[in-house]
Structure 1
Amino acid sequence: MESEEMGIFERYLTVWVILCIITGVGIGQFIPAFPALLNRLQYAQVSLPVAVLIWLMIYPMMLRIDFSSIIRATREIKGLAVTCGTNWLIKPFTMYIVASFFLLGVFSNLIPPELGREYLAGAVLLGAAPCTAMVFVWSSLTRGDPAYTLVQVAVNDIILLFAYAPIVAFLLGIGNIQVPYDTLILSVVLFVVVPLLAGYFTRRRLITSRGPEYFQEFLGKFENITVMGLLLTLIIIFSFQGRVIIENPLHICLIAVPLIIQTFLIFTVAYLWARIWRLRHAVAAPAALIGASNFFELAVAVAISLFGLQSGAALATVVGVLVEVPVMLTLVRIANATRDRFPA
C-alpha cells in the first residue's frame, strides 16, 4: 500500500502537466523537426516512442495488483457492488450524456462539430476506465480500508479486460464516431492485457524466488517512473497539439467543464449509494473515489492509438489529467468532512 502522503510528483501533478503543455507547445512551434521525426517512428499507426512511454506508465501499476486478494472480496460484497455498479453501469453512460450535452450542444458555437466529436471520444475513453493507481493515494488520504481498496482495483481490472472495448465501441458508435473494432481491441491488448500479464508473472516469480521483501524493493525502483512516463508523453502530445491550443486556448477550459461535472456527479452517486447501504466510511470513500477518478494513462494510450497524437480525442484525455488532481483532492476533503455520517 502506498504512503498516506502523496509524493512531490503526485501532489503537484497539475503544475507538471501545465509545464508539459508549455514545453510541448514550445517544441512544436520552435522545433517542428521534433514532432516530424516522431511522426515517422510509427508502426500500424502507433507511435513507437509513445508506446514505450505508455508501457512505462502502466507496467508499474500492474505490478502492484495482487489478484489473490480477490478471495477476500466477499467480506465487502456491498462495497464491491457500489464500485462495479457505478463504474460499469452508470459512469460510462453519464460521461457520454454530460460530454455530449456540453461539447456538442452548449458549446456548439465555440467548437466545430467534427472537433467536438473528437473531444467527446476522448471523454468517453476516460469515462469507461476507472482508476487503478491514484485511487490508492485517494484511499489512504481518506483513511480507506487498504485491503478493500486493493480488492476493488483487482476486480475492476478484470472487468476492464472484457468490458472496456465493447462499452467504448458502443458509445462511440452512438456518437457517429467511426472506430475500427480491431484497432480498439488491439489497443486494449497492448496497453491492458500485455502489461497486466507481464506484471502478474513478474510479481509471482519475484515473490516466489526472492521473497516479498525483495519484491517491495523491486517495486520501489518504479517509484516515479509512471509519472515521468506520463509527463514525457504529454510533452510529445502537446508538441503535436501546439497549433490547436494556440488557435483555440478556450477549448482546454471548455473540455474541462463536462469532465469536472462528471467527476462530482459520479462521486455523489457512489457516495450516497454507500451511505444508503450504511457502509463504513473506510469502504464508502474508496468506493466513491475510484469511480470519480480515471485510468487516464489507459485513456491517453487508446486515444493516441485510435485517433493519433494530433487528435482532439488525445487532447481531451490530457485535459482529464490536468483536472484530475485538484478535483480529486476536493472530493477527498468532502469525504473526510462527512466521515461522521457513516458507521464507524
Structure 2
Amino acid sequence: MNQVEMKSFEKNLTLWVLVCMVIGVLIGKFIPQIPTFLGQFEFYNVSIPTTILLWIMIYPMMLKIDFNSVKNIGKNPKGLYITWLVNWVIKPLTMYLIAYLFFNIIYSSFLSPQLASEYVAGAVLLGAAPCTAMVFVWSKLTRGNSAYTLVQVATNDLILLVAYVPIVSFLLKMGNITIPWETLLLSIVLFIVIPLLMSMITRRYIISNKGIDYLDRKFIPAFDKYTTLGLLLTLIIIFSFQGNHIINQPLNILLIAVPLIIQTLFIFGITFAIAYKVNLPYSIAAPCGMIGASNFFELAVAVAISLFGLSSGATLTTVVGVLVEVPVMLLLVRFANSQQHHFRKEG
C-alpha cells in the first residue's frame, strides 16, 4: 500500500470501521468458534490477541516521540491541568447525570428499574476510565504532540490507580465495590510501559546506527499501513465476542447509545473550548479533547464482567461504549482538524 493508497484508505476510515464492526458481529453470531478460540488466550481478563494488535498501533506512534522534549512539558502545564480536571471531575459526574436522566427518567417506560440501574452502572464504569491505548490513534490522526500526549496518558494512568474505585463507589453508592486490580495494572503495563520501552530502545538504536533522518523518513512510515490495519482487526475481534448480545438486543443497543454519544460530544466540546480559551496550541488542544471524550473500554468491560457478570446490563453498556466510540471519535477527529486554523501553532 503506497502513500496515495494509504491517504485514501484513511480518508474513508469511518466506513471501514463500520464494515469491520459488522464483520465482527456476524462472526460472533454465525462462526462463534472463532471468538471461543481467541477467548482462550486471556490473562486476568486481558485479551492477548487484542493486546498484540494494540501494540501494532501504539508502538509506531511512540517511535515518533522525542523523549528529550518530554522534559519541556513543565513549561506548558495547562494541557495537563485540563486533562485532569475533565477526566477526573467533570466527565465522571456528567456521565452519571446523563445516564441517570436517560435510563431512569426518559426511558422509564421502556426499562425496568433493575435494568436501568445496571445501565447506569455500566455508563459510570466507562466514564470513570479515561482512554489509555486508543488515544494514541486519535492523537496521531489530529497531528497531536506525541510527547505531550504520552505524559497526559501516563499521568491519567497514575491517577486511575487511586481514583477509579472511590469515584465509581461514590457515584453508584457502592462503597464495597471491588476492582480486579490485576486487570488494571496489567492493562497499564501492556498498553503503556511495554510499547514505550520498546520504542525507546528502538529509537536509540536506529538513531545511533542509521540517523534520525532514516528513522523519520523510512523506518516509521513503513508501519503506517499496519497501524490502520491493527485498528480494524482489533474492532473485528472485540465485536466478534459480543455478536449475540448486539443482534439479540437491537432496541436496547440504541437506547444505550444515545446518552453515551451525547456524553462523548459534550465532553469533547467542553474540553476543546477550554483549551481554546486558555490559548493552547492545536497539537495539545486536540489530544486534550480526544483524551476527554474517549474511554478505557478494555478496563470498563473487564470490570463490568467481574462485578455484574457477562450477561448483565452493565456489561452490555460498556460494549455499546465500544460500538459507538470509534465512529464518533473519527467524526470528532475530522471536526477538530477542520478547526485547526483557529488555534495557535506550537512553538
Fold match, TM over 0.5?
yes
C-alpha displacement of 1:61: 2.5
Stretch moving more, 123-132 or 45-54 = 123-132
- Contact 2:62 2:146 survives alignment (8 Å): no
**C-alpha offsets along residues 2-36 of structure 1, whole Å, 9 cap, x if unaligned?**
x9xx9344433321221112211221222222222
C-alpha displacement of 1:51: 2.6
C-alpha displacement of 1:292: 2.5
Stretch moving more, 80-89 or 213-222 = 80-89
- Contact 1:121 1:172 survives alignment (8 Å): yes
C-alpha displacement of 1:298: 7.8
Give aligned-pair identity as a percent: 35
Aligned residue number for residue 27 of structure 1 = 27
Aligned residue number for residue 156 of structure 1 = 152
Aligned residue number for residue 143 of structure 1 = none
User: What number of residue pairs does the alignment pair up?
Assistant: 326
Does residue 323 in structure 1 map to residue 328 in structure 2?
Answer: yes
Distance 1:120 1:90, change over 3 A: closer
Secondary structure at the aligned position of 1:125 is classed as: coil
- Contact 1:79 1:284 survives alignment (8 Å): no
Stretch moving more, 165-174 or 24-33 = 165-174
TM-score if structure 1 supplies the norm length? 0.77
Secondary structure at the aligned position of 1:65 is classed as: coil
Distance 1:268 1:46, change over 3 A: closer
C-alpha displacement of 1:172: 3.1
Q: Aligned Cα RMSD in Å?
A: 3.7
Give the 5 Å matches for 1:283-322. Answer: 283-294=280-291, 299-303=296-300, 305-307=302-304, 311-312=315-316, 313-322=318-327
**C-alpha offsets along residues 142-174 of structure 1, whole Å, 9 cap, x if unaligned?**
xxxx6xx34431321331341233333333333
Structure 2, unpaired ranges of 5+: none
Whole-Å separation in 2 of the counterparts to 1:89 and 1:130: 21
Secondary structure at the aligned position of 1:40 is classed as: coil
Whole-Å separation in 1 of the counterparts to 2:108 and 2:238: 25
**C-alpha offsets along residues 203-256 of structure 1, whole Å, 9 cap, x if unaligned?**
222222321122222212210323322221221222221111112223443343
- Contact 1:95 1:262 survives alignment (8 Å): yes
Distance 1:321 1:296, change over 3 A: farther
- Contact 2:264 2:293 survives alignment (8 Å): no
Secondary structure at the aligned position of 1:27 is classed as: helix
Whole-Å separation in 1 of the counterparts to 2:51 and 2:277: 43
Does residue 208 in structure 1 map to residue 208 in structure 2?
Answer: yes
Aligned residue number for residue 267 of structure 2 = 266
Whole-Å separation in 1 of the counterparts to 2:73 and 2:228: 29
- Contact 2:63 2:200 survives alignment (8 Å): yes
- Contact 1:14 1:322 survives alignment (8 Å): yes
Whole-Å separation in 2 of the counterparts to 1:204 and 1:99: 47
Q: What amino acid is aligned across from residue 243 of structure 2 in structure 1? A: G
TM-score if structure 2 supplies the norm length? 0.77
Whole-Å separation in 1 of the counterparts to 2:252 and 2:139: 28
Aligned residue number for residue 13 of structure 1 = 13
Does residue 172 in structure 1 map to residue 168 in structure 2?
Answer: yes
Distance 1:205 1:61, change over 3 A: same
Whole-Å separation in 2 of the counterparts to 1:257 and 1:69: 40
Aligned residue number for residue 233 of structure 2 = 232
